[in-house]
Structure formats: C-alpha cells, structure tokens
Amino acid sequence: MLVVLVLGGCTIGTPDAIDPSLGNFAGRTLEVVATWSGAEQRNFQAVLNEFMRRTHATVRYTSGGTDLAVLINSRLAGGSPPDIAFIPEPGVVAELVARGVLTPITGTAAQAVRSNYSQAWQDLGTVNGQLYGLYFKVANKSVVWYRADAFAEAGVSPPSTWEELQALSRTLTEAGITPMAAGGADGWVLSDWFENAYLRIAGPERYDELARHEIAWTDPSVVRTLELLDEYWRTPKFIDGGPSGATQTSFTQSVANVFGTEPTTAMIAEGDFVAAEIRRLNQVTVGEGARFFPWPSINGSPPAVVTAGDEAVAFHDTPETNALMTFLASPDVARIMASQGGFLSVNRNLDPSSYPDDTTRELAREIIDTPEVRFDLSDLTPQAFGGGTDAHMWVLLQNFLDNDISPTDLAQQLEDAAVHDFAGRP
Amino acid sequence: MTGVAVTGAAEGAQPGVEPVAPQRRRRLDERRLVAALFLAPAALTVLVLVAYPMASTVWLSLHSSDTGEFVGAANYLRIFATDTTRHAVLNNIVWVVVAPSVVTALGLMLAVLTQRVRWSTALKTILFMPMALSFLAVGVTFRLVYDESPQRGALNAAIVAVHDAFAPPSKYYGVAPRDGTGLVPADGGYETASPVPATLPVAMPVVGLPRDRIPSDAAPAAAPAAGTDLRGVVWLDFTRGGGGSVGAIDDTEVGLPGMRVEAVREGKVVATATTDGAGQFVFPGLSDGEYTVRLAATNFTEPFRGVTWLGPRLVTPAVIGAYVWIWAGFAMMLIQAGLAGLPRDVLEAARVDGASEWQVLRRITVPLVWPILGVVIVTLSINVLKIFDLLYVLPPDSSQDEANVVALEMYRVSFGGGLDYGLGSALAVLLFVLVLPAMLFTIRRRRRQRP
C-alpha cells in the first residue's frame, strides 16, 4: 500500500528521468491482461506505475477474472489482442503458440530472463525450443496448513511422512477434532491432492510423462495414487463433513472451517495462497496460530514441490512490449511485488529479505531450493481435461470423492477422457 | 415508427394538381426513397444485431471448432451422444414441465387468496418483490439458504431445529472406543468383546469427544473399588496435549457421566445402569455369572445434519424452488388482473345457488381466467427454456453436471474450458428450435387479438 502511494506521488510530481536501459516510450500505449483483481490488481498496479514512471509509456490493465481465456480468445477473434497477458496454464500457452498468435521473447527481455531465472523455469516457459513465457508469479502448492492450538491440544507435531500424517489424523479424531478440510466443491483442490500424491508415488519422470499423456491414466502408479487418496478420504471422520459434505464445501469455506470464527478442523492441504484467506478471516496470525508443513513424503520420496504460476506472454513484437517484458523479469519488479505480500517469485536475484515475513520467505525458499519442482499437472493438460470448472479431471475427481467408484474404474474414466481431450492437441 | 413516417409522406403527396403519368412515377420513386431512408436504420440494426449473429451461429454449428472444417450435423449429433449434454436437454424438459405449472398454480392460489384478506395490497407488494431482484442476487442468496451446514444454511437450520425438538442428538455422539481395548461395535453401541465375570470391574475407555462437549459435571475418572456386584468405569481416554497411556486412567482424564450401560446375558438385556460423575457404574444384584457389558446405542445418536439440497440428487428441485420464489408473485399479479375482469354476477349466482368456494374456483373462476393462465404458462415456458444465471450461480461446481440445462451447457462448452464453439452453437440453435413453438403461439395469439 505504502509503495503504491509513494509511486503514485512520483507520477503526479515532476517528470522523472527516463531509464535508459528500458527506453523512452512517451505517447505509446500498452495493454496488459491477467486474472488478478482486488488486492492483487492493486499490488500489480504498483509495478505498472513504476514502469510508466521510468519510460513515460501508458499502460492499461484489464482484469479477465476467471474468464481470462474467454477474454483473450474474443480479443484475438476481434483482431485486437492485448500486448501482454499473464496466463496461468502452460497448456493454454502451448495452444496459443500453435495458433501462431504469440511473439517469442527476444533481445533484452530474453537476456533478463536468462540472467534472473533458473534453467528449469526457462524450460517451463519454452515451447518448441523458443522462449515464450516469463514466470512472474508462482504458487507453492505442496503445503499443508494447520491450526497450532489444535495440534497442541492433541499433543501432535507436524508429520514428515504419509504414515505419520495418518497416525496424526487418527490422534486428532481421538481428541474430537476433525483432521482435514477439503474444499471439494472446487475441482482444482482435488486435482492438487492428486498431483502432490502422484509426484511422490510415481516420481518426477512419470509425472512429466502423465502430463504429456505419454503413459495412460490406467498406469499402476495412477491407480496406486487413487487408492491412497481413497483410503484417506474415506477413513471415517478424517475429512470435514465426510466425502459428500466435502464436495459441497468451497475452497474459501474450507479455509474458514480451519481458521474462521468457529473452527472445526485442524488442517487444510492447499497452497501458499491460503495465507491470504487466513489474513482476511483475521482470527489467527499466519506464522503463529496458523502454520504449515510441506506435503509429507510417501514411501521415502525426496522433497518435491508442485507449483503453479502466471506466465507473462507477448502478443506484439514492439520495442515497448519488449521493454515491459524486460522490466517484468527484473529483480526490481520482484522486490516491489514481494514486499507487498501474497506473492512468491522465482527470480533468483531477488533478495529474500524483500518478503514481508518468515512464512512467505520459507514458502518461496522451498520452491527455489527443492530440486524436484513440477508444474501443476492439470494446468499442463488441454483445457478440456484440466483447465476449468467443467474440465474432465476435476469433475471425475469430484465424482470419485462423493461416490463409491473404485480407483481402477476411475483410472479408466480418466483415461477415456484424456484420449478424447488430448486428441485435438497440437 | 417507420410506418407512421411512410403514411406521413403519402399524405404529403395528396394535395396539388392532378399529376400526369411520368410525374406520378417520379412521385412514387420519391416516396419509395423516403420510405427506404426511414426504414434503413431499423433494418440495418436488425440485420447487424439479429440476422447476422443468427446466421453466424448456424454457420458455426455446422463447423468443427478445432479445424474449422465443415462437419454437417456432427455437432448436433454430439448433443445427444454426450452424457452431459443429453442430461442438460433432459433437465430442460423437467424444468419446462414443472416450473411454469408450479408457478402458475401457486400464482392462482395466491391471487384468489389475497383477494380475501385485509392489507392485501401490502401482501401483494411483498409477494411481488422478488421480481425486483436480479437472478444473480437470488442465486447467491439461495446458495446460503440451501447451504448444507445447519450453522449457515437457513433451510437446514430450520429443519434441524424441528427435528431436534422431537429427536435430540445424544450428548456423546461421535464417541467411540479406542482400537484394541476390547470393545466392539454392537447395535449402534459398543460392548465387551466377550462376557466378563461379575466380580471383575470393567474398564471402558472411549475417545473422540471434543473439548467443548465434555459435560460440566464430569469428574476425574477413578477405577472402581473392588466389590461383589458387576461394576466398571467409562472414561475419556485422551489426555489433552498428548502423553496419556492407552487403556489406563491418567491423572487428567475424566469420567463420562450419564452414560447408559446395559448388562446383557444370552442376548437379553438383564439390567441397566447410568454412570456417575466419575464415570462409574454398578449393577446392584448382579453378582454371579458372566455378562456382556454394553454402552447403549442411545448414547451415540448422531445429530440430524439436515438435507444436502445442492447435492447431485436434489439440486434441480432446489433450483426450481428458487425460481418459483421469484416468479410466483409475477404470476399472481397477472392472474389477479384477470380475476378483476371477471363478471361478478356469474360468481355471485353460483354462490347463491349454493356452490362451495372450491366449486366456484374449479368450475367458474379457472375456466374464465384460463386464457390468462395460458399466457402465463407460455411466457414462463420461454423464460424457463433459456434459464441460465440461476444455474450458473446457485449450484456448487460439483453439482453443475447434475443441475445442467441447455443454456448453461452452451456456455460451459463454449467458454468453460473446451472452447468448443461448434457444439455451443449447435446447442444455441437447439434452444432456439425449442423456444420456437412457444413464440409462434404468442405471435398467433397477438394476431388473433388484433381487430
């Protein structure tokens, strides 16, 4: 907030000197679209203000909300795409590249990406050997949040293995506390469960193969993962509201059931963004009453992190678009965003002290330090399979949670859907 | 408007000398030109905003959205080949059959009843008020009304309150014995795995009671003193903060008072007892032989949790309920207008002849307002066929497949992830075809009514 005010003051005051590394773009107009609204949009506006101050360009931000893909597609159909879009699904980026509507990142922007991002993140932004995307904002999805007082009451401490998580959950039920909240009404919550378990059971290589549908969903590793989820989800009293109650609970509600005014549940397995919800509920402090532990290891699997992120891609090959890309890849921007909270960066030249608190720093450190980082599998698949409220993977996992479907049957249903949805893939 | 303009131009041509043939033709051309000029804006608007999108939709529906190739009727066949789309079509049929008739019936009832009460204007205003709300707002509100948790959902709160008044939950619901402590489930309660001799005190450790449900009169648990009668203790075998030993009474562990305990011999309950503050129970007089000791099922009656309104099974009736709530007032108003125009003498004659109110309603009122009821049903049918917003907002994502209707499915396949404009357009055309009969009916009625 403070940063916004300070920067706002700058733009209103006397004209500032042009940043020669970016260039003078007075009179040029850029348009940026992303899913962010509310506080996230306000925070990002601080970055755009700083860019406008340094280059005298005009940048307009448009929020696409949850319908970002619709916005981009209709703008493309109308022949006026934005200059830069932040897209959460690499699968969509690949589709856009195949349609030939994106411009590769080149010149100073490419240099900035190379010097500030690790090879792994550059690879994630690369399609057909060309760099198209810059990972601006990332999420750490391999996190389980817990209420410290619930753990204290049951006399348990954070688990590091799956067996410990099960034992701890049992102890919590004995103390009369529901162990786990799951917002199954939002399909992506369940796909995150699957991805974390799968990455640990099958390992990173198989994970990549499954994301590209090079192995079938009927693979034994998938069935084993579904069996593990089935066992945990169906253990009486483990899931808040039981399986059918969980499919009626939204993500927001599930956080409130753990950290709200009348908490019933001890844990919730979801990403770093849960912290923002906890702050909004304003009942416990993140880092004190609300803490997290990394997703537990399964059968001795090494630490692994499932991430997601918004990838900046360009639709126009203009100097001002390139300058904004260069700027977005800089540690300066990462610092502006990080200091405002609710933001994790994989910019390796960002000083970790920019983060507002230890919890955020720790969440960011895990993404950068963990060797096995994998992108959210459902976001890598075609939209019809893993990228929307109607996507097959989401819907099938919801059916699995709510109904008595065997893991083998579900694996077959997922495979049938994948065969259909991957068919039209570029 | 254009009609008026044209006649105006024609009148302007009237005065003057008798025109000769070439002049008349010129005049005619002039009039046509003026007419065309006045018509052009409206015609253009209709072409650009109505005709073009319709043609474009039909064109899209005949092409694949992946490749852009012409695929003929393939998209239309997919509507009935895919489970979700077929389900959407079936749901639409349920909606059209149920919603308009329920709304009309309710509207008729309200219209007749509100005629007879005092403050009827105020009452009618209140009943009509939901019409002033947007479907989106109603959707969000009813999402809360139908919420599964009785703490949040108004409807379930009411149902649970009524249910609990007659069948309250037991105070120890959710409580269960620890694994491996010799107690097994039996008839909804728990009992010793094998009969125990009356001379040996029975230890019955249970867990799973949240802190806020521990009774206030619970005292620290104590092992029963040795005695001749069958006796034992039921206690909460969980030490807060951990560290307690399993199956043994630790310092801070409390007894569970008011627990109903049964002594069973050869399958028959021979005596019952209730625990005291320290969790102890005694069966006076049972001093010889072996008994199975059972914690009765009545201790563990689960609370009634209400109804899963927005689950897969009830979601369509639940959403129709919200729809009825919005439109009943509207139907009432229309029918009321019809009722006001009824010839009073017929109604009075019937009453004088000794007809009951029900007979008057069935034999006279309904037949007389029947044309209005028809209009209400047709209007609502068109409205119901293209219903979208309520279904987009009200059901949670997990039930959207079950709640689906054609208009929602059209949006979901086009924009919800698949970007399948071909199938979406085919659904749009299907919707249009479904609305067509109702539209034609309305247009024909209008024509007939014209003088």
Report ipTM for this prediction: 0.77
Instruction: Using an 8 Å CB-CB cutoff, list chain A residues near B413.
Output: 390
Query: Is residue A51's pLDDT more than 70?
Result: yes
How close is the nearest chain A Cα to the Cα of B92, in Å?
Answer: 19
Asked if the Cβ–Cβ distance from B178 to A237 is below 8 Å, we say no
Share of residues in chain B with pLDDT > 90 (%): 48
| Residues A251-290: tens digit of each pLDDT | 999 999 999 998 989 999 999 999 988 988 999 999 999 9
Rounded to the nearest integer, the mean pLDDT of chain A is 90
Query: Is residue A100's pLDDT more than 80?
Result: yes
Asked if the Cβ–Cβ distance from B417 to A388 is below 8 Å, we say yes
| Residues B275-317: tens digit of each pLDDT | 998 999 999 888 888 899 999 999 998 888 889 899 888 999 9
Query: Is residue B8's pLDDT more than 70?
Result: no
| Per-residue confidence band for B19, with pLDDT thresholds at 50, 70 and 90 | low
Q: What is the pLDDT of residue B255?
A: 93
Share of residues in chain A with pLDDT > 90 (%): 72
Asked if the Cβ–Cβ distance from A391 to B239 is below 8 Å, we say no
Token output for B400: 């959207």
Asked if the Cβ–Cβ distance from B208 to A248 is below 8 Å, we say no
Best residue in B152, B302, B304, B397 for a mutation probing chain A (most A CBs within 10 Å): B397
How close is the nearest chain B Cα to the Cα of A101, in Å?
Answer: 16
Question: Running DSSP on this structure, what letter comes out for residue B226?
Answer: P
Query: Is residue A2's pLDDT more than 70?
Result: no
Average pLDDT over residues A378-401: 85
- Cα–Cα distance between B451 and B448 in angstroms, integer? 8
Query: Is residue A59's pLDDT more than 80?
Result: yes
Query: Is residue A1's pLDDT more than 80?
Result: no
How close is the nearest chain A Cα to the Cα of B133, in Å?
Answer: 24
Higher pLDDT pick, B363 / B66: B363
Query: Is residue B205's pLDDT more than 70?
Result: yes
- Cα–Cα distance between A422 and B418 in angstroms, integer? 11
B137-145 contacts, C-beta under 8 A, 24 or more apart: B138/B322, B138/B325, B138/B326, B138/B390, B139/B322, B139/B389, B139/B390, B139/B392, B139/B393, B139/B394, B140/B393, B142/B318, B142/B319, B142/B321, B142/B322, B142/B325, B142/B394, B143/B310, B143/B393, B143/B394, B143/B396, B145/B322
Q: What is the pLDDT of residue B240?
A: 86
Residue A241: how many CB atoms within 10 A of its CB? Answer: 23
Nearest-CB residue to A153 (from B240, B243, B416): B240
Nearest-CB residue to B418 (from A153, A383, A398): A383
* Nearest Cα to Cα of residue B332 among B67, B123, B55, B192: B123
Give the Cα-Cα-Cα angle B125, B128, B134 (nearest 5 degrees). Answer: 130
Please, are residues B61 and B422 in contact by the beta-carbon 8 Å criterion?
Answer: yes
Q: Is B242 left (phi over 0), alpha (psi -120 to 50) or beta?
A: left
DSSP string, B347-393: HHHHHHTT--HHHIIIIIIHHHHHHHHHHHHHHHHHHHHT--HHHHH
How many Cβ pairs within 8 Å bridge chains A and B?
A: 98
Average pLDDT over residues B247-257: 90
Q: Is B89 left (phi over 0), alpha (psi -120 to 50) or beta?
A: alpha
Q: Angle at which helices A220-234 and A392-402 pack, to 10 degrees?
A: 50
Query: Is residue B12's pLDDT more than 80?
Result: no
- Cα–Cα distance between B73 and B57 in angstroms, integer? 14
Instruction: Using an 8 Å CB-CB cutoff, list chain A residues near B412.
Output: 389-390
Q: What is the pLDDT of residue B20?
A: 58
Asked if the Cβ–Cβ distance from A237 to B209 is below 8 Å, we say no
Query: Is residue A160's pLDDT more than 80?
Result: yes
Decide: helix, strand or coil at residue B43.
helix
Please, are residues B403 and B84 in contact by the beta-carbon 8 Å criterion?
Answer: no
Chain A residue with CA closest to B394: the answer is A248
- Cα–Cα distance between A239 and A268 in angstroms, integer? 10
Query: Is residue B249's pLDDT more than 80?
Result: yes
Query: Is residue B66's pLDDT more than 60?
Result: yes
Q: What is the pLDDT of residue A424?
A: 60
Query: Is residue A6's pLDDT more than 50?
Result: no
| Per-residue confidence band for B451, with pLDDT thresholds at 50, 70 and 90 | low
Nearest-CB residue to B398 (from A176, A185, A383): A185
Chain A residue with CA closest to B253: the answer is A175
Instruction: Using an 8 Å CB-CB cutoff, list chain B residues near A184.
Output: 398
How close is the nearest chain B Cα to the Cα of A211, in Å?
Answer: 17
* Nearest Cα to Cα of residue B107 among B361, B324, B384: B324
Evaluated on CA atoms A47, A53, A54, A55, the torsion sign reads positive
Higher pLDDT pick, A69 / B350: B350
pTM given for the model: 0.84
| Per-residue confidence band for B397, with pLDDT thresholds at 50, 70 and 90 | confident
| Per-residue confidence band for A310, with pLDDT thresholds at 50, 70 and 90 | very high
Query: Is residue A4's pLDDT more than 80?
Result: no
Chain B residue with CA closest to A401: the answer is B398
Q: What is the pLDDT of residue A103?
A: 95
Share of residues in chain A with pLDDT > 70 (%): 95
Chain A residue with CA closest to B420: the answer is A384
Asked if the Cβ–Cβ distance from B241 to A155 is below 8 Å, we say yes
Range in A68-77, B3-12, B203-212 with the lowest mean pLDDT: B3-12
Query: Is residue B322's pLDDT more than 60?
Result: yes
How close is the nearest chain B Cα to the Cα of A3, in Å?
Answer: 36
Asked if the Cβ–Cβ distance from A152 to B311 is below 8 Å, we say no
Q: What is the pLDDT of residue B223?
A: 85
Q: What is the pLDDT of residue B344?
A: 85
Q: Rounded to 5 degrees, what are φ and ψ at A25?
A: -125, 35
| Residues B128-144: tens digit of each pLDDT | 999 889 999 999 999 99
* C-alpha separations of B202 from A130, B205, B255, B279 in Å: 75, 10, 14, 11
How close is the nearest chain B Cα to the Cα of A200, in Å?
Answer: 27
Asked if the Cβ–Cβ distance from A424 to B66 is below 8 Å, we say yes
Q: What is the pLDDT of residue B17?
A: 52
Asked if the Cβ–Cβ distance from B213 to A176 is below 8 Å, we say yes
Q: What is the pLDDT of residue A372?
A: 84
* Nearest Cα to Cα of residue A54 among A80, A32, A29, A22: A22
Query: Is residue B103's pLDDT more than 80?
Result: yes
What distance separates the 2 farthest-apart alpha carbons in chain B?
134
How close is the nearest chain B Cα to the Cα of A72, in Å?
Answer: 11
Decide: helix, strand or coil at residue A300.
coil
